[in-house]
Structure 1
């Protein structure tokens, strides 16, 4: 399966902007498998962040993870204050504590403006961003989380497999 749409400047990306290796994760903030993949992906970025571009797209499985969508919305609202990755990391690092109140505690800990956050959460654009990510996942053949794409192609494996693959290609 191919990634649809391709990575663009609209995506949340870290690493090397013009990297030859682009990894996209479709993730759910409450998914235990995404939570387990998170430290592996952090290791991947520590080792190869100067060589790869890593992109995160929201894929909240709301039926089974009631806090996945609220977490995605808060992360997108945090992005409007320039703190997407800080919120992304804070959510995954505290995944077992997820609740609506806790998301606002994290926002407070990250120094986000609470009035701005509340206002941004009411913006259609925040919800539309999460919906657009989810829809792109559906169009790309994502049927569970985490799902990875490497240079636009679906990667059939988990974060550990991805790290092993990149390590073997780097050596």
Structure 2
């Protein structure tokens, strides 16, 4: 697919392969392209959690590790997908954002243990880079939709370009 966006529209539709919180038929669909080592993504993570306490929405997280500046972001994304393979994506996702400064192999193993993953399967997935292609596909989808930096948010398919502020983000969703 060679089609690319001007950066204001989401080109890759939500699918069964996405990590989704909420229902796909929600009135508000928020898609984030994020990086677990990006501090701004950590802030947006907290904002989204706060907003989810106030309104119903469908939230989709897609990986966009910026490995040239965040050296552990790729591993963290693969760890999240290894957890997803055991139906625990969101538990790992939250731990990774809560511990952005501790994403080395030992810490990732600790988090896998904390959320009670099958450790042998997790280690096999990580050492075999079983989920690297899925992360790469997420990055490609982001690039096609004009993403070049994180965090990148799309509200009902339209790029959010206002301030990283809970009230403004919530207002944009309700608009």
Q: Point out 4+ residue stretches in structure 1 off by more than 4 angstroms.
A: 122-125
Q: CA deviation at 1:106?
A: 0.5
Partner residue, 1:137: 142
* 1:25 equivalenced with 2:20 (yes/no): no
TM-score by length of 1: 0.91
Residues 98-120 of structure 1, C-alpha deviation per residue, up to 9 Å, x if partnerless?
22211111111110111011222
> What is the CA distance between 1:124 and its match in structure 2?
6.0
Q: CA separation of 1:159/1:125 partners in 2, compared to 1, >3 Å: closer, same or farther? A: farther
Aligned residue in 2 for 1:53 = 58
Per-residue deviation at 1:159? 5.3
- For structure 1, the 5+ residue unaligned runs are none
- The whole-number CA distance in structure 1 between the counterparts of 2:27 and 2:45 is 22
C-alpha distance in structure 2 between counterparts of 1:159 and 1:103, whole Å: 30
Name the Cα RMSD after superposition.
Answer: 1.5
Aligned pairs for 1:11-160 within 5 A: 11-48=18-55, 51-122=56-127, 126-157=131-162, 158=164, 160=166
Higher helix share goes to which structure?
1
